[in-house]
Amino acid sequence: MRQTIYVYDGGEIDLSLVTRLYPAALISAGGESASVSLEWADMKKEQVVLEAYVLICDFDPVGEVPVNRVEIRYETKEELFAAMNDIATLVKS
């Protein structure tokens, strides 16, 4: 597989090494932070505090507990979706 580099604020990622890539919402509830699905965060927006939107890139083999992970944070869902579109464009080219 050819090397495809995604450059973001704070670094770059070789997309050919990513084993899982997915969006999430970083929320705070009851003093704890957690990454949850965008849909869940929308449904519970009255009960949780949204800290950021994140694009999670895992590098461990599928089926293993992800230890090698990069989380890229975005302030808005639109910024997250734009980044996802940029990555899709890179991968297709």
Q: Which residues touch 65 (CB under 8 Å, ≥6 apart)?
A: none
**pLDDT for the residue numbered 13:** 94
Q: Which residues touch 52 (CB under 8 Å, ≥6 apart)?
A: 25, 26, 73, 74, 75
Residue ranges in 10-69 assigned as alpha helix (H): 38-43
**pLDDT for the residue numbered 30:** 81
Is residue 35 within 8 Å of 66, Cβ to Cβ? no
Q: What is the pLDDT of residues 16-75, one digit of tens each?
A: 999 999 999 999 978 889 999 999 999 998 988 999 999 999 999 998 998 999 999 999
**pLDDT for the residue numbered 1:** 54
Domain ranges in the chain are 5-88
Mean pLDDT of 70-83: 96
